[in-house]
Structure 1
């Protein structure tokens, strides 16, 4: 266990991402490239901590792009006349996640389903959560890592939906990816000693998990799969920041997140059950 270079009596497992000096929570400054010591943060990056304890460094371009894609996709859904609810003859039917279609070669559904929603409230809940979480996480880990976490979680959520849902059920929604962002934010906040943020995220996450298991029509597999993907990504990022991945930390970290996405994608393809002659099943919310 190392000791903070400014507070010799305080143990810490986090080092400055620029100079490598050990830093305690009081000395950490979140930046797009990891935690920095006070000196390095002043030299390299301007970061502001919000009044509520959130991290608001720089911008969150990927967060707004992802929200924009989902909103535009919903407008396209409503333009079909289906309103995002009907699984037959709509964008949900054409691009939502259904095991039999994935098994039939329509692999793109594992991704496109994460940008479709079954109603305005479904869209609103997911986009509000993504907005607040994205503005915390994206500036603190960087846009590239944020996007990698998002899509790794989305695909892990799609895998979970394939595993735990009927092959006839159509699943849509960004919930799996959002659950992954929840999980990654929780792990990273804990790893950086930001217990007040971790506590708030953990409470909200717990409430959402409770709702997942108590409200019908929600994709349990999608939510749990996305959460698992985000937690794994968060662990990789924290391990890199603590110097546990060695001199090739970034390569291992990025490679690990890509591996989570690829393995989820391949497993979902291989486990999707083929067409049996039945029609569309129910519609569930939150594949990824």
Structure 2
């Protein structure tokens, strides 16, 4: 028998074809290729794609080049999780706990307010409520927004007179906030909430008696009521279920004693204006227009505070 030596080959005499191996794991044979770059990939390197599979590098590149999803008003899709709404509720509850803790003296509990649980004021609400210009009885010093305590225009929207007051506002925030945050996105929703709350507190400063104290998230809540009406109209959705709820809340505002009419109406008007800015900003450079509109509202509110302060202290 004759022996022959030489290189193995195919029927045509050429070299035998080799099995493809994964470009990241050369010791693994594979017949699957990345649908984007056509490199062979093993099961460990496969990433599901709309068609076939892609390699890890192509998936990372695609994530860098694909624009993140946005809502109809330019907000981020993260708003669907309701993180801002939940955070605002948690912050209000925390401040309520601090308010109760600030009234732990025996006289405050024995006085029937149970440390602020039943609606009485506490040292914290005295410190943070919207107050025009009045002296504290115990000290005789003048306090209030007109005395330079502008922080009250912000802190008041996180304070409440009692648990019932808190629960009513937080229920409304839970219902309205999640819907608006999902539509607007987290940052735009937060801007709406804060601007509306500030607007209501500025209105309380302008039109309430100078010695009256005002607290509550309802200034911002009424702004959300107005905003959800504006936003739903802009999206072409039915608003017939919103109007009766808004009317009922307005009736309560005018008929129930102790409610700040100016604060509720101020929040309603400013919330509507901010919602109009967010909803009707032109698509081209939308974020810039929305930011400019919000800034104009803030400057207008600042001007009103300055005018009121000059009238009280002049």
Match of 1:259 in 2: 296
Structure 2 contact 73–278 (Cα < 8 Å) conserved: no
The offset of 1:255, in angstroms, is 1.7
Measured against aligned partners, the alpha-carbon deviations of 1:229-271 in whole angstroms (never above 9, x if no partner) come to: 111112122212xxxx362322111221232234224422431
CA RMSD of aligned residues (A): 2.3
Counterparts of 2:264 and 2:308, CA distance in 1: 18
Measured against aligned partners, the alpha-carbon deviations of 1:60-104 in whole angstroms (never above 9, x if no partner) come to: 1111111111110110111122533444x6111111110111010
Structure 2 contact 77–182 (Cα < 8 Å) conserved: no
Alignment of 1:212-251 (within 5 A): 212-240=253-281, 245=282, 247-251=284-288
Structure 1 contact 151–261 (Cα < 8 Å) conserved: no
Structure 1 residues 193, 255: closer, same or farther in 2, change over 3 A?
Answer: same
Which residue, out of 301, 305, 313, partners 1:268? 305
**Per chain length, whose mean CA-contact separation is higher, i.e. which structure has more relative contact order (CA < 8 Å, sep 6+)?**
1
Within the alignment, does 1:130 sit opposite 2:168 as a pair?
A: no
Counterparts of 1:149 and 1:186, CA distance in 2: 14
Structure 1 residues 174, 269: closer, same or farther in 2, change over 3 A?
Answer: farther
Which residue, out of 69, 86, 96, partners 1:64? 86
Counterparts of 2:81 and 2:256, CA distance in 1: 35
Structure 1 residues 225, 35: closer, same or farther in 2, change over 3 A?
Answer: closer
Alignment of 1:35-184 (within 5 A): 58-81=80-103, 82=108, 83-84=115-116, 85-87=119-121, 90-100=123-133, 101-184=144-227
Match of 2:250 in 1: 209
Counterparts of 1:270 and 1:45, CA distance in 2: 40
Counterparts of 1:114 and 1:262, CA distance in 2: 19
Compare CA radii of gyration and give the structure with the larger one: 2
Total equivalences in the alignment? 222
Unpaired runs of 5+ in structure 1? 1-30, 37-43, 47-56, 277-288
Structure 1 residues 66, 45: closer, same or farther in 2, change over 3 A?
Answer: closer
Counterparts of 1:166 and 1:63, CA distance in 2: 32
Counterparts of 2:97 and 2:188, CA distance in 1: 28
TM-score by structure 1 length? 0.71
Structure 2 contact 120–162 (Cα < 8 Å) conserved: no
Where 2:214 maps in the other structure, the secondary structure is: strand
Counterparts of 1:45 and 1:97, CA distance in 2: 35
Measured against aligned partners, the alpha-carbon deviations of 1:181-218 in whole angstroms (never above 9, x if no partner) come to: 111111010111111xx222221111101110111110
TM-score by structure 2 length? 0.66
Structure 1 residues 216, 137: closer, same or farther in 2, change over 3 A?
Answer: same
